[in-house]
Structure 1
């Protein structure tokens, strides 16, 4: 399966269906239907619709179609009927003009200060009447399927880019872990040398005032505490395990965003511990480089579905 980003955009237009025989209207009927869908990252699927009055009845069907293809993201859907070219305006019918005149007289009998209808108002209402005669159910469904498909394809392309970036960062993190692994026995050897030096100092300072066993216990205690503090072998092992799991998920694809987000947090925790336990400058530099890469991955994982 592919990796999908939650960021995408798609738009499309659909011409009005042909009127049935014997029901042709004078002038251009309803123009075109326009649909625009954009999505950004979100924890859950959050759908927002901004549809014109003529299309609001189709919102449940659009919601169901989008939810069947998209699992996460803040998705905004805009739909409207676009009028045809300006040189082919719909001419109001006498019946419509009579109805508008009657309604206007009725309103102004109660509201004398109400504004009279303008020519632009009459043309707009005439176009709305033409749109009401058109059944947009099938054209809207066809346009929605096409536009949603384009949105999913755009999210897939962005997801592929993110997956490629993440796999590259995983390789760099493995290289850093490999650089850190040989440093662990080196630090242990440094601790052994320090232990011998402290033991000799303790024996020299004892001079019969303290028992050799007490001095030895003190030196061993200090050496053990320091060895535990600088041991990063466990952190490197867990970090390698997390890297393998992240790579497996990225190659598997699908709905992996939430799991990746958790694993990135674990990676960051291990890198932090690696830095806090560092007893050598080289290990500190490796920890910093790891955290930079992990932070870059975290920003991209926020966009994965």
Structure 2
């Protein structure tokens, strides 16, 4: 079935949890380059790697990240390139030798000849924690350098957020289209559901007539009608349809940044991904109930289509902040 196209535009601010950002800037200790990479995570997880000149500021940098991002697994790397005439850099021979010994030990464990002519990435070794040392800023100088670095971190975060919002907008548009697809399926079930009781009545009458003919007996039509009514009550899915419609309306309202009544916009201070995930769980529950109640073949087929659409939505929502 072709997915319906939604005419309801998603609100700005919907973000994917996957993205990357980069920024560079000059500080008193040299040129700082900040690189950010994020992937989806149920909560917030941040890993910060800094040069020795900013060692000890990891917690402060993470707090800056928390001001801009709410969910996801974030890897932030800060590289420092000293300018000529600035803070001298020294190589800690002991630390470097320790890294090389670990590399050789790992090679031996892997069955690689440690004495073989294996090239090492010198740049990568020099960027390992503790290899390069230099005079660290102190006092007011340290605070000034951190504030300069903070500006670069924020610039990288802004680039990351722009990318995440672009991807989030595409995902939200797809989700809105899936909502319209499901709504169309629900309307079809509404049309078919009343036919289920009539179909059951016809099947029941056929079975009863065959049994009566075989045993030359009679049945009270009132009893037959009562049995059909009992089935109709059990197979009634009107309440489930009403609740599913309500969940769809709420889901779309959250994506558009509106109240469920659509009369006002809500803020974007909190991430919406987790809320949307909860709504999807409720949608799936109502759909399951509709499927278990109805014995109508066409309704069962439509329920499968709805479940497929909900599963697509679940996969997308799990990557929304």
Q: Same fold (TM over 0.5)?
A: yes
Write the distance in 1 (CA, Å) between the matches of 2:146 and 2:203: 81
Write the distance in 1 (CA, Å) between the matches of 2:134 and 2:178: 59
Could you say which residue in structure 2 is the equivalent of 1:228?
233
The 5-angstrom pairing of residues 263-282 of structure 1 reads 263-282=279-298
3-state SS in 2 of match to 1:4: coil
More helix by share: 1
CA-CA distance at 1:57 after TM superposition = 2.5
3-state SS in 1 of match to 2:165: helix
Could you say which residue in structure 1 is the equivalent of 2:275?
259
1:159 aligns with 2:165: no
CA-CA distance at 1:269 after TM superposition = 1.7
The alignment of Structure 1 onto Structure 2 pairs a total of residues equal to: 259
CA RMSD across the alignment? 3.4
Write the distance in 2 (CA, Å) between the matches of 1:65 and 1:277: 52
TM-score (norm 2): 0.69
Could you say which residue in structure 1 is the equivalent of 2:76?
77
Q: Which runs of 5+ in 1 are unaligned?
A: 18-29, 101-119
Write the distance in 2 (CA, Å) between the matches of 1:91 and 1:283: 74
TM-score (norm 1): 0.72
Write the distance in 2 (CA, Å) between the matches of 1:90 and 1:60: 26
Q: Is the 8 A contact 1:49 1:77 kept in 2?
A: yes
Q: Is the 8 A contact 1:199 1:216 kept in 2?
A: no
1:68 aligns with 2:67: yes
Counterparts in 2 of 1:226 and 1:92: CA distance versus 1, 3 Å: closer
Could you say which residue in structure 1 is the equivalent of 2:21?
10
Q: Deviations over 1:203-240 (max 9, x none)?
A: 667757x9x66x954x4564344323432222222211
3-state SS in 2 of match to 1:181: helix
Could you say which residue in structure 2 is the equivalent of 1:47?
46
3-state SS in 2 of match to 1:2: coil
3-state SS in 1 of match to 2:70: coil
Counterparts in 2 of 1:137 and 1:91: CA distance versus 1, 3 Å: closer
Could you say which residue in structure 2 is the equivalent of 1:298?
314
Write the distance in 2 (CA, Å) between the matches of 1:65 and 1:174: 42
The 5-angstrom pairing of residues 1-305 of structure 1 reads 2-17=13-28, 30-83=29-82, 128-129=133-134, 135=142, 136-197=145-206, 200=209, 217=223, 219-220=224-225, 222-252=227-257, 254=268, 255-305=271-321
